[in-house]
Structure 1
């Protein structure tokens, strides 16, 4: 599978990665799914300490234990839970993040994390302090590189200007093209996008009728969504591929994107994801046609 350099780092990630939040919680089944992904050429696995309050990290850590040297392992932090906390709370402080990394290392059963990401963030956060925590963790050898997971323009700009982030995780798909506005800035800053949600919760698959809901999706009404998905499926069929393959190829084909990370809770879904890497890049003509079929949109909040 093609591998792309993540920002200006020495990490080369498979263009189709694996979003681990979708795992089943059944360790035996999850291990089979993860190993199928590795055998299919996927080397980038993305989890977070908040997923199942640490259990997801434990599952991933066990499953990749014997293949750790072949894996680019990413996790996220900044959401604190524990005694005296109702659910979880946001905490991007230096002290918390440095302790959270130690907990993630223990759960993942590894000596280092390849990519550690801030799991959210606002412009009111102590950004400089958070960056200090990341830089300390790199120097201490706990993490190799760091990034952020955010769709907020003012947060993205602040970290692009002030820090050494190598990646920005953003929800991005044919049905959510809001990140495209920021691709030029991201490219110019030698940062890569990690695209989560590239098949839009299963809407961008041939079985989209089963996923439709009355309230539509983002700024698509239900009727708009039905028509858009039908039109997209026709284009995929004329190209001789599935809607899912086309959706993943569109996202992975953007120069700013290093990896698209669909999830999978079944072996068949992993195989479907991997198959998209075998599809040739979409033509410029088809890409432009897909953009005409879908909506160009922008983040309206959290911007100057």
Structure 2
């Protein structure tokens, strides 16, 4: 297979060191159409070969299927992996419906179930997947802190939180990372949480850094499979996608000028934001194909000029359609 230079390591909060790019595994089990177990396992193992050792999953993805898949893929190489999973979301109530459960007892039981599915004795980074307004955040993080004390979890994370929520959680137990959707067309974390994250020394982990594939220039919104979850997103409707194509075209033009792929430019932009935000930003592009994985890994070698960055920074203002 094509070789890609081993990726560098970066420090998030609390001394947690991860590869500068990770691998999001959600699409291997849910949301983005047909899943292929063998190809997905091969993709995860190829990621480890390339030094992409930060592997991200959640108990909600595929109703546990994804954790089992990841666990099988990293078996025999567990010590090479920084394994992240999440708790607090339940997709089993119906397509498109989500239940949030941050009850402390649920968190403790869910962690044990995740450990079993993953086939491991510890979770390196355990995220609260979403905040439940019906449960005090301090109680939820307190339960997660108990898992750290028990040796079942090494570091704690939060997903899609505000700066105020991060500060409240951090007062209970140090937080290593905040995971949020972040890309050229989704800039919310910059105003919502990045300032507090930088102040507290918490890293940012960017999911959907390729705009759920749109920024690669390879996604035809009108030809998505019937079971592809992007069909329900406002930015992928026919009218919005047509308007947003102008943004993708700019990314493609910059990529062509540099002799690289559009997705690599989009990822390089996300990585570049760490210096400007004052805290590391680690993208975790999701894929279930080795080819795309290798292309994404090579993005870490793409250097964007000041002019490129200025042009790319301005694109979010023209996005049509809400995030959800």
Same fold (TM over 0.5): yes
Conserved? CA contact 2:216–2:263, under 8 Å: yes
Which residue number in structure 2 is paired with residue 20 of structure 1?
25
Which residue number in structure 1 is paired with residue 291 of structure 2?
268
**1:278 aligns to 2:301 (yes or no):** yes
**1:293 aligns to 2:315 (yes or no):** yes
1:77-226 aligned at under 5 Å gives the runs: 77-79=87-89, 89-152=99-162, 154-181=164-191, 182-208=193-219, 210-211=220-221, 216=235, 221-226=240-245
Conserved? CA contact 2:88–2:129, under 8 Å: yes
Aligned Cα root-mean-square deviation (Å)? 2.6
Q: 1:69 to 1:234 in 2, by over 3 A?
A: same
Residue 109 of structure 1 and its aligned partner are, at CA, apart by 0.5
Residue 159 of structure 1 and its aligned partner are, at CA, apart by 2.5
**Residue 115 of structure 2 aligns to a residue in which SS?**
helix
Residue 22 of structure 1 and its aligned partner are, at CA, apart by 1.4
Structure 1 unmatched ranges of 5 or more: none
Structure 2 unmatched ranges of 5 or more: 1-6, 30-34, 223-230
Which residue number in structure 2 is paired with residue 7 of structure 1?
13
State the TM-score, normalized to the length of structure 2: 0.82
Runs of 4+ more than 4 Å apart: 85-88, 151-154, 212-215
Residue 191 of structure 1 and its aligned partner are, at CA, apart by 0.3
Partners in 2 of 1:178 and 1:158 — Cα distance? 20
Partners in 2 of 1:230 and 1:174 — Cα distance? 13
Partners in 2 of 1:216 and 1:79 — Cα distance? 23
Partners in 2 of 1:28 and 1:226 — Cα distance? 33
Conserved? CA contact 1:174–1:294, under 8 Å: yes
